[in-house]
Structure 1
Amino acid sequence: MTWTTARSTFLLATSIIIVSLGPASADCQIRGPDTMYLGDGGSYSLQLTAHRSGTCSLSFTRKAADVSFSSVEVTNQPKAGKFSGSDTYNLFYTPPPTGNSDSFSLKVCGKDTHGAGCNVLNYAVTIVE
């Protein structure tokens, strides 16, 4: 596993579904499993490093024709930071003004090559200056 950068991707479903960090997230990095299939219905731990003064863009994007999303929802709100969203598949995480850590969970549902299902993504956030 390697840290991703603002323009890199975190891989879901072996190059089928990706969570990318968009232009607003130059100060964010995600580390997590290399492969996750929606049809397997798993729960996964991810590590997000966020700069206190930045905003992290989490965008769930279709990468191939055989993937479709039915929902992306915040199941556990950040304990200290906050979320905003431009639409169902794009969320923006803003770290808190104080503290060094945070956490939140997302539930991503849809259909891929392994069938229909949902994954729970549990993010542990480290906040840096």
Structure 2
Amino acid sequence: MIKPAAADVWRYPYLWHRQHGDGETEGRKSRPVAFVAVLPGKAGGTNLFILAITSTQPGRDRVAVSIPEIERHRAGLDPMPLWVMVDEYNHDILEASAYFEPGARIGAFSPSFHKKIMFAFTAVVRTGQSKAIPARGLNRQNRARS
């Protein structure tokens, strides 16, 4: 199994914050996402911090990083304007995920572009403006056991 790494781009059923707020628990479709961080958890497992990639131009109230043409090509994305949304993210646990598909890797961003995404993401997190969707796969698995 290929494990994700920071800067990777995969297909994943991303759950938008607005959908989560409306009570939805499943992403409506599998879409390209960027792994901003992949970190070992304190209790074991691998934490995935996942950012949505969208073709919809973000509004002024959103924080996003425009993906340059060379990075779209490098990551195996469509040749159209795309953005990485950095003001919200999905958190998942790789080993417990009901959503992560091992064969869904598309490509990866360059280290320098990933650094730009990480900088924008951490700036939003530091200001408290980031919206997190908790580890859905872990929650779903634990509910199934009870």
TM-score by length of 2: 0.25
| Larger proportion of helix | 2
TM-score by length of 1: 0.26
